[in-house]
């Protein structure tokens, strides 16, 4: 750790990234002791600049971060820590999966290859927000107000349409119907209070077990 460059306060910024999805979850600060605790415990520890004390991520919320890898950048003044979120799978104190959910500017992908699975996490955040705010005219809000039976019925309908598109052999139609299916599955998961991160964790567990 001697190669790391800390600022005048003895701190170094740590970017926390989901090991499975690549999503940036949060940014916090560490000093030498917090980094030492992180490396020894396998869980993220930080130094609170406001409270002037160490804090273990998830100590009160249960949303621990299991450390999978630690890197430092070319200037040795920033850390990148890849983790698997535990507990409810959220990093932000607001209850969001990531702290970065406030848009300042956004450019639409110019090609198919620029899309990424992170869109699922973004959609999950939008659905969570619609559930909390219930804005007028929102399809998600209306679907949630219909209750579990309505959500289950709609998911079953989308499942059938996806299968029919698959049997027809149309890749374009299959892509559209599969997108509808995934969207409605995210609505179901939100209503069930099951974050998508729990699904990623289960898939990761199976992959690890089965090789």
DSSP state at residue 114? G
Least confidently predicted of 31-40, 130-139, 199-208: 199-208
**Is pLDDT of 66 > 60?**
yes
| b/e code 9-43 from CB counts within 10 Å (16+ = b) | eebbebbbbbbbbebbbbebbbbeebbebbeeeeb
pLDDT confidence tier of residue 153, bands split at 50, 70 and 90: very high
User: What pLDDT band is residue 116 in, cutting at 50, 70 and 90?
Assistant: low
- The domains found in the chain, sorted by start residue, are 12-85 (3.10.20.810), 115-210 (1.10.287.1080)
pTM comes to: 0.58
* Residue 26 to residues 18, 102, 197, Cα–Cα distance (Å): 10, 13, 15
For tokens 């920033």, the residue is: 78
Q: What are phi and psi of 17, to 5 degrees?
A: -125, 140
Per the model's pLDDT, the better-predicted residue between 116 and 43 turns out to be 43
**For the chain, what is the radius of gyration of the CA atoms?**
20
Question: For 140-157, what is the mean pLDDT?
Answer: 95
Instruction: Say if strands 79-85 and 12-18 run parallel, antiparallel, or are unpaired.
Output: parallel
* pLDDT tens figures, 102-115: 877 766 554 444 55
Token pair of 154, please? 């709609």
């Amino acid at each position: 750790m001697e190669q790391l460059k800390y600022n005048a306060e003895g701190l170094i910024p740590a970017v926390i990234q989901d090991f499975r999805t690549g999503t940036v979850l949060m940014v916090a600060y560490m000093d030498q002791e917090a980094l030492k605790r992180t490396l020894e415990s396998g869980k993220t520890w930080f130094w609170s600049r406001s409270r002037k004390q160490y804090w273990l991520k998830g100590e009160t919320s249960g949303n621990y971060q299991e450390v999978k890898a630690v890197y430092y950048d070319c200037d040795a003044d920033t850390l990148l820590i890849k983790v698997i979120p535990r507990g409810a799978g959220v990093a932000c104190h607001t209850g969001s999966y990531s702290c970065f959910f406030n848009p300042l500017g956004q450019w639409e992908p110019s090609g198919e290859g620029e899309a990424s699975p992170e869109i699922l996490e973004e959609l999950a955040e939008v659905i969570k927000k619609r559930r909390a705010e219930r804005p007028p005219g929102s399809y998600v809000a209306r679907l949630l107000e219909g209750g579990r039976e309505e959500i289950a019925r709609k998911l079953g309908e989308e499942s059938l349409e996806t299968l029919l598109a698959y049997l027809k052999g149309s890749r374009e139609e299959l892509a559209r119907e599969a997108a509808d299916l995934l969207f409605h599955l995210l609505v179901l998961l939100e209503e069930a209070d099951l974050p998508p991160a729990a699904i990623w964790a289960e898939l990761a567990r199976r992959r690890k077990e089965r090789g």
